[in-house]
Structure 1
Amino acid sequence: MNKLDAMDCRILAELQADGRMSNQELSERVGLSPSPCLRRLRQLEERGVISRYVALVDPDAVGLAVTAFVRVRLGSQDDKHLAIFEQAVAGFPEVMECYLMTGDADYHLRVVVGSLGDFEDFLRHKLTRIKGVSQVTTSFGLRPIVYRTELPARAS
């Protein structure tokens, strides 16, 4: 686990709110001069605390209005079948998140598509064709209530 101090947390909070700001602006917002701020930023990157920088795209604006939450059970949970499933779903651009789970499902996926027809195609031609998939249960999101990308970083 990476130890974070209060300044690291301030830097992370600012960057999670606006990852495109300049080092000058970041340093002003967190109360450091530019050189120490850049040094801390590079350390956070090198330690893997900051893994990458991305743009957040509105799904509706690009025609991806349907969000499905899919629970998947495999017929066998041995390493071979887990690896086959995980490798397959990692290659599906519709899968935004995939978690290995405890409980009544082996995996929980968040899938984003343009329409119910697109979801049916994904289900029939991709997901259920993965060797070992025995059961799929889907719920559709009606609208997001809370959607965050900022992690609540705390000093440790």
Structure 2
Amino acid sequence: MAAPSPSRRALDAFDRAILRIVQRDNRMPQRKIAQAVNLSTAAVQRRIAAMEHGGVIAANVAIVDPDAVGLGVTSIVEVNLIDEKAATVDRAKALFRSDPDVQQCYYVTGGRSFIMLIVAPDMRSYEATTRRLFAENEAVASYHSYLALSRVKAGMELVIPDAG
């Protein structure tokens, strides 16, 4: 039997402990992570590299406050496509994935095709985005926007369960 691919490798308690740390602060020195999880620095380095290679750690990024960079409009948008044919859905996914104003996008069940989060500097820019992505898109049957009044919580930190 072949060994599991890096992306299929089961995460053990050490991997999960490392993930809990790096998703809060991925700039923490690996020697400090090693001390916190009771492993050698080299072991932590190997485990992090394996999790990056396997796609468990998808990216190492800085989370920027949209207001601090002049992106004052946040909208949650529900999108309905004209049909759910694979070609229609795939084209929509490609378009939404490639647009820089779309921060998050989910293909969903429950009477909608997509739910997405869009940020823009102002309402004029937001209108241009909605025209480009939805109003002028023949694959979109309808869309509904919810403008955020305030950001109550925004984060990417996952609650990582213990190894089971």
TM-score, normalization by structure 1: 0.92
Shift in Å at residue 24 of structure 1?
1.5
- Two-structure CA RMSD over aligned residues (Å): 1.5
Q: Distance in 2 between matches of 1:151 and 1:15?
A: 11
Q: Which residue among 59, 62, 87 is the counterpart of 2:69?
A: 62
Match of 1:113 in 2: 120
Q: Which residue among 106, 116, 120 is the counterpart of 1:99?
A: 106
Q: Does residue 28 in structure 1 map to residue 35 in structure 2?
A: yes
After TM superposition, the structure 1 = structure 2 runs for residues 1-156 of structure 1, keeping only pairs within 5 Å, are: 2-154=9-161, 155-156=163-164
Alignment partner of 1:126: what SS?
helix
TM-score, normalization by structure 2: 0.87
Check conservation: 2:73, 2:148, Cα contact below 8 A.
yes
Q: Distance in 1 between matches of 2:18 and 2:41?
A: 12
Letter in 1 for 2:83: S
Shift in Å at residue 104 of structure 1?
2.0
Greater shift, 35-44 or 60-69, is seen at 35-44
Match of 2:3 in 1: none
Runs of 4+ in 1 over 3 A off after TM superposition: none
Shift in Å at residue 64 of structure 1?
0.7
Letter in 2 for 1:51: A
Shift in Å at residue 3 of structure 1?
2.2
* Aligned length, in residue pairs: 156
Unaligned regions of 5+ residues in structure 1, if any?
Answer: none
Unaligned regions of 5+ residues in structure 2, if any?
Answer: 1-7
Identical aligned pairs, as a percentage? 31
Letter in 1 for 2:156: T
Check conservation: 2:134, 2:142, Cα contact below 8 A.
no
Letter in 2 for 1:137: H
Shift in Å at residue 2 of structure 1?
4.7
Greater shift, 81-90 or 10-19, is seen at 81-90
